[in-house]
Amino acid sequence: MLVDPQRKRKIRLVVALGVAVFLAAALVYTSFSASTEAKEPSQLLSAAPGTSYDLTGKVVPGSIRHHGQELNFRVADRDGGSESIPVSYSGTVPDPFRGGREIVLTGEVEHGTFIGERDTLVTKCPSKFTTTNDS
Amino acid sequence: MTASFGSVALTLAFLAMLFAVVAALVGRKGDERWVLASRRAVYGACGLLTLCVVLIEIAFAGDDFSLNIVQQHSSIETPNFYKLAAMWSSQEGSLLLWAWVLSIASSLALYATRSKLREIVPYATAVMAGVASFFTGLMLFAGGVNPFASLDPVPADGIGLNPLLQHPSMMIHPPMLYSGYVAFTIPFAFAIGALITRRIDASWIRATRRFALIAWALLGFGLLLGARWSYTELGWGGYWAWDPVENAALMPWLIGTAFLHSIMVQEKRGMLKVWNACLIVATFSLALLGTFLVRSGVLQSIHAFGDSTVGPYILGLIAVVLIGSTALIVSRLDDLRSEKRIDSLASREAVFVVNNLLLVALCATIFWGTFFPLISELFTGTKSSLAAPWFDRYTTPLAIGLVLFTGIGPLLAWRRVSWATAKRVFFVPSIVAAVVGVALALFTDATHKPWAFVLFVFAAFALVGLGQEFWRGTAARRSLKGGSMATALVAIVSRNRRRYGGYIVHIGIAVLLIGIAASSSFQTNRDVVLRPGESAAVDGRTITYRRPTAEVDPEKFTFGAEAVVRQGGTTTILHPSRRFYRPTGVRSGTIANRFDGEATSEVALQAGVFRDFWMAVQPDITAVLGRVRAADQGFRACVRGAPGTPPQCRAVSRLMQAAAANPALRPVAARQIETLQAATAERIAKSYLADSAPATFRVIVNPLVAWMWVGGLIALAGALIGLWPSRGRGGRPLVADSELEALKEAKYREIRDAELDHAAGKLSDEDFALLDAELRNEAVEILDSADGNPEKIPQS
């Protein structure tokens, strides 16, 4: 019954480390399957339908149209490529949303249009932590 | 004038900080003159940076648009309060704030340790002044971030502050976070000093514990303000989004929490030295990482601050800190061995170790999730991100574990707890928690969300346990000294501020977590589309869109709704609305450009003890926009004097033609057009009232969310109590002025703690007798060594 305390500590350490390693592995494993790929519009034009993506890019200024509950706009690459993808979205629109802002939206491509999931639209905050004067 | 004066002050501050580094290092072997010089250089730099901040603030207050920073972030019309706070909404201003707060904290730390820790202080000074000179140098040399950059010619007006940021909590939130980040520099610097000099007892901890606690409290308060702003201002109704920048501020707070607990173990028991050194290095690095993330654009975040020139430099500093500290810790492993071992798993120190592991695991999980886009790019070549559900799944169980330990920790005494004692202290809290669990299961639907249910039960355990601590402490005090409950309570709290302040923080955190669990698990969140006069039922309430509202002023259109909420016999009228601004910095132009700027939701919030009723509106303004465009077209035609225009228009076009020929008439023409535009805008705004256009209402019923803010404030109050210096009896100074004095104080406190634990029933008579004898021996040792040889202080 009497276990050498040194040995007991070692066993305890090994068990604790084992549990930690197991949990970490589970975390790593699930994070790869739970994540959604981020794509820019130019990459999405050739994306597989039926797969969920995070669309990231800039809202094309002047492209925003309201159709009842639905919001339609186009999103272009962040560094300002000429290609853009039409987006259809319903759900809440964050306050900072407007033309020219960067957004992230989760959804799928259907017939060339990106259909956003409800309430997944994220718009970047308008802060001025830039050194250029274009903010 | 201000620009050149300020630049000189900033340069001098930079040089003073550099000098402080050099002087401290020259004086490291005990040359008092150099150490004194380095300390004075830090004070001087603090004065100079204060001057810089004052100059910038004067420029903001006086609309001095010759300074780029003022022109970019303020305007004549910006309200005064926001003028003064606009400094830190700029990149350069925020860097100045960093450097300034750091110089203040460093000066305070150096003043407090002016006659203590003679070996450690020079190195700590070098680290603090080194970090300060890094940030000051960044402003001077990184390019584009000098707060005193000037403009020539001087513009007549500034761009102004973004309307979304014009919110009181948004103005306090950044300086709180910064001060939190910055204050962690102090314990970090002293830890480095202690490691270099191999003086790795608890003296550096005693000297800097307050700074760590201040940093922790400020960072926590900053996080709370940010959450509050998001909840009340941003129109989506949430307070936390697991956004990278939010996570970046949460991570140092979590590790800081772990650090505050584990240093107690080192202070009292001489254990966990390596761990503490690692924790403070991690906390400081994470604080720098937070500063970096905000400015780098590396991760996709709603806080898009864009790429900037300073990112790579901060990353470089993080690398230096991490590599340098790791090498230092590894080279000092022999000196960092624990003096003692944990006696028993049923002791407070063992619980602290578990709580530390939970906090570190929580931070590691958040770190992994935050940086997952970079990690996945590394392994799979594509950037993938993890959304809120992933974070929720892993953080929830860890948070639940933490709640349990906020209750268990305070119930256990240091060193050892006998089985009989444990039974005695755990009995009431366990019974009450079980009763609460049964009641929740029978009378509410709490069991539908098992995680939340478990959290409620654990929180009940923690709250009752903490209440019992206060109760027993008060009762013990009364049996000794008499008096009323209230006076006894005040007496025990004010005599043991660290202990009871800490317990109050625990109460606050348990309450805060109840608020988070209830509001995130049992929230009702609905979007309903209504036309004026229509009603909808949401969560047992009838919501009626009674009538639309509309307003217009020179800077914005406001479209809103008067909504009536009926529940049972009570009727409430709410006025949510949405504002549409001109682009920041544009003050006139077409009517339509009021829709080109920010749009902000004015949330109608009916806060309550049991639940918040939250409502925002998204008006359908398609028809309004059509009319606005038509009106703008009409104006253009009018100004050109196209044929067939109405008579008032002819007058304007004649005026315009005259103004084209005679510049003196231009302001008159402009005013005339503005007046007409304003009248038209007013008419269009009113036309919305007759549209009976549908509006989308977002309605959220948030149970117990108010307790989140209440809990946060309780925790803050607890931290303040813990920080408040204990008044020394018999004219003893507030802060022990020598290391020996501090050591004595600490030992006396330990003896008092043990007495209190015994009186409160947490220590059995036998255990107390043993412990008390041990502690008194140690105290005698300290006193002996002080009498015999004042220079030599035993390792506690």
What average pLDDT does this structure show over B589-607?
83
Look up the pTM and report it: 0.88
The neighbouring-strand residues paired with B541 are: B538
The domain of B539 spans 525-703
Evaluate whether residue A135 is within a structural domain.
Answer: no
- Name the nearest CA neighbour of B268 among B754, B786, B792: B754
**Residue A54 shares a structural domain with residue A92:** yes
**Residue B638 shares a structural domain with residue B577:** yes
What average pLDDT does this structure show over B307-325?
86
What average pLDDT does this structure show over A101-106?
83
For B710: left if phi > 0, alpha if psi spans -120 to 50, otherwise beta; the answer is alpha
ipTM of the complex: 0.78
- The domain boundary, picked from B673, B703, B733, lies at B703
CB-based contact A95 B233, cutoff 8 Å: yes
| Highest mean pLDDT (candidates B151-155, B159-163, B453-457, B756-760) | B453-457
**Residue A11 shares a structural domain with residue A26:** yes
**Residue A27 shares a structural domain with residue A45:** no
* A31 vs B89, B386, B529: nearest CB: B386
**Residue A44 shares a structural domain with residue A25:** no
**Residue B776 shares a structural domain with residue B671:** no
Evaluate whether residue B326 is within a structural domain.
Answer: no
**Residue A7 shares a structural domain with residue A69:** no
The answer, yes or no, to whether residue B736 has pLDDT greater than 60, is no
**Count of residues in chain B:** 796
How much is the pLDDT for B779?
82
Between A123-127, B602-606, B670-674, the lowest mean confidence (pLDDT) is in A123-127
**Residue A24 shares a structural domain with residue A74:** no
Residue B386 at interface with chain A, using a CB cutoff of 8 Å: yes
State the Cα–Cα distance between residues B212 and B179, nearest whole angstrom: 11
CB-based contact B386 A34, cutoff 8 Å: yes
Evaluate whether residue A61 is within a structural domain.
Answer: yes
**Residue A59 shares a structural domain with residue A103:** yes
**Residue A22 shares a structural domain with residue A81:** no
- The domain boundary, picked from B162, B177, B205, lies at B162
Residue B693 at interface with chain A, using a CB cutoff of 8 Å: no
State the Cα–Cα distance between residues B148 and A65, nearest whole angstrom: 43
Evaluate whether residue B226 is within a structural domain.
Answer: no
The answer, yes or no, to whether residue B125 has pLDDT greater than 90, is yes
Residue A6 at interface with chain B, using a CB cutoff of 8 Å: no
Between B76-80, B182-186, B247-251, B591-595, the lowest mean confidence (pLDDT) is in B591-595
How much is the pLDDT for B468?
92
Q: CB under 8 Å to B18, separation ≥6 — which residues?
A: B129, B133
Residue B741 at interface with chain A, using a CB cutoff of 8 Å: no
Mapped onto helix, strand or coil, the DSSP state of residue B260 is helix
Evaluate whether residue A131 is within a structural domain.
Answer: no
Closest approach of chain A CAs to the CA of B242, in angstroms? 12
CATH number at residue A63: 2.40.50.140
The domain of A8 spans 1-34
What average pLDDT does this structure show over A19-27?
86
Evaluate whether residue A134 is within a structural domain.
Answer: no
Between B42-46, B246-250, B657-661, the lowest mean confidence (pLDDT) is in B657-661
What average pLDDT does this structure show over B323-345?
85
Give contacts of B383 with chain A, Cβ < 8 Å: 37-38
The answer, yes or no, to whether residue B610 has pLDDT greater than 80, is yes
State the Cα–Cα distance between residues B322 and B312, nearest whole angstrom: 15
CB-based contact B308 A130, cutoff 8 Å: yes
How much is the pLDDT for B644?
63
Give the residue from A29, A131, A132, A134 with the most B CB atoms within 10 Å of its CB, the best one to mutate: A131
CB-based contact B620 A68, cutoff 8 Å: yes
Q: Please provide the distance, in angstroms rounded to a whole number, between the alpha carbons at the two ends of chain B.
A: 56
Evaluate whether residue A70 is within a structural domain.
Answer: yes
State how many domains chain A has: 2
Contact B703, B611 (CB under 8 A): yes
Q: CB under 8 Å to B349, separation ≥6 — which residues?
A: B265, B268, B269, B271, B342, B414, B415
Give contacts of A95 with chain B, Cβ < 8 Å: 164, 233-235, 598-601
Residue B632 at interface with chain A, using a CB cutoff of 8 Å: no
| Highest mean pLDDT (candidates B296-300, B340-344, B490-494) | B490-494
What average pLDDT does this structure show over B202-208?
87
What average pLDDT does this structure show over B408-418?
81
- Name the nearest CA neighbour of B681 among B642, B607, B625, B764: B625
Percent of chain B with pLDDT over 70: 94
Average of per-residue pLDDT values in chain B: 86
Evaluate whether residue A83 is within a structural domain.
Answer: yes
Evaluate whether residue A84 is within a structural domain.
Answer: yes
**Residue A79 shares a structural domain with residue A22:** no
Evaluate whether residue B483 is within a structural domain.
Answer: no
| Cα dihedral B400, B405, B406, B408 sign | positive
The answer, yes or no, to whether residue B795 has pLDDT greater than 50, is no
What average pLDDT does this structure show over B752-781?
82
**Residue A19 shares a structural domain with residue A3:** yes
How much is the pLDDT for B185?
95
**Residue A28 shares a structural domain with residue A53:** no
The answer, yes or no, to whether residue B340 has pLDDT greater than 50, is yes
Contact B464, B408 (CB under 8 A): no
Residue B451 at interface with chain A, using a CB cutoff of 8 Å: no
Between B139-148, B212-221, B290-299, B394-403, the lowest mean confidence (pLDDT) is in B290-299
pLDDT in tens, B99-116: 999 999 999 999 998 888
* B308 vs A68, A119, A131: nearest CB: A131
State the Cα–Cα distance between residues B463 and A58, nearest whole angstrom: 48
What average pLDDT does this structure show over B261-286?
90
**Residue B771 shares a structural domain with residue B731:** yes
**Residue B698 shares a structural domain with residue B752:** no
State how many domains chain B has: 3
Q: Give the side-chain half-sphere CA count within 13 A for B168.
A: 1
State the Cα–Cα distance between residues B176 and B224, nearest whole angstrom: 10
How much is the pLDDT for B135?
93
Closest approach of chain B CAs to the CA of A1, in angstroms? 18
How much is the pLDDT for B298?
58
**Residue B580 shares a structural domain with residue B641:** yes
CB-based contact A129 B305, cutoff 8 Å: yes
How much is the pLDDT for B296?
61
